[in-house]
Structure 1
């Protein structure tokens, strides 16, 4: 036995000729098939020329989008319009409320001003009459002398002339008699009787007894009849102090150079001489 017999050989085993020929035949067949397929393929294949049309939705979608946008815009406009209307209504309501409050304030202010003016005028009239008549509470020597001459020695003008017998007749006599009947009554501002008077209240009541309805206040009574001269007085004439139309006091001429009037709160209704307090003018109603 050789000494290398136990070492395995590194050579590949030889293939038999029959196997080699078989493989070659198989390979050749495959290649032939490929060649034939390659030659026949281009001639038999047809290009794809069919076009697939997809449905068009662009027009419908754009219309829907436009409609939606228009609707959204309209809603926005509606909201804006409503907001503007609400704001305008609120502003108008505020202005109306403010105007009403201002009108009420002006009306109240006007009423207060008128009331204050009336009260001031009345106070001024009372103050003026009081200032002009302060001396009536204490008869002067001249009036006492005049009264004494016409009343058979009586010392008080108020009491002496009360007994004077007026020469008046008819309606004038009734006016004079009414005035003299209330000598001694109290003086009350705004008084219209039966036992308390202010100057114009007494004159108005006296003339009412003969059916003559005079104005209520002295300013109006001073222009209620025909203006007459103080040198041509007749019983029943209305005497006034101050200007015609702005008189602050009135009384009734009873004849004999004397008058009856509601003077002030200190003296009440008295009968006095014209010399004691000469009037500004006179009017004749009867």
Structure 2
């Protein structure tokens, strides 16, 4: 053993280098800091990376959170715009549909009103016609049979009535003027031609021939008409005893009927 082994050394202990201190500080703080070999780093330089290293995660998280919030906001705004656009489109379609339904309802109401007005007009005309016929029937019930007490006559009226009775039972054919079938005005024209009187072909014109006479003053051979003078739709010939002969319709053909079977509107005298 050396005689100096137990003698404390007077050499100064070696101070750790700055890099060693930085290394220990880094390890102690939870971070490992590598120093360049042979470089001398001041003591305060070792602390700066620690601070920067600690702050970076915080900055990165904040940026990510902000970006996520911005994305959410943008998505919400886009969703709101899309929802508003859909609502606007739905409202527009609903408004157009409502307008269409309204127009259809108005059109239907007008058509119904027009139909009812037409029905009311026809009902009024029919009621007036029935009332007129009823009053005329009452007035004619006695005088019509006494004005001409017989269906036979002399001269032209007898020939006229004889021809008309010979046509009873024949068919009614619209536009026909004999000899096997007739319509109403065709029959009267053919009958009066037997006694040398030329009548127009249609009922409207026949109702304005000769002289207008009252239904309470009828004579054999008077032409009866239904409708109004100048626009009559049917004619027949009065044969006396409150009766007439006419080509009524396709179901009955040429028949003899009492006046109250279908009271005429007026009469004209051409004899």
Indicate whether the TM-score tops 0.5: no
Larger Rg: 1
TM-score (norm: length of structure 1): 0.42
TM-score (norm: length of structure 2): 0.45
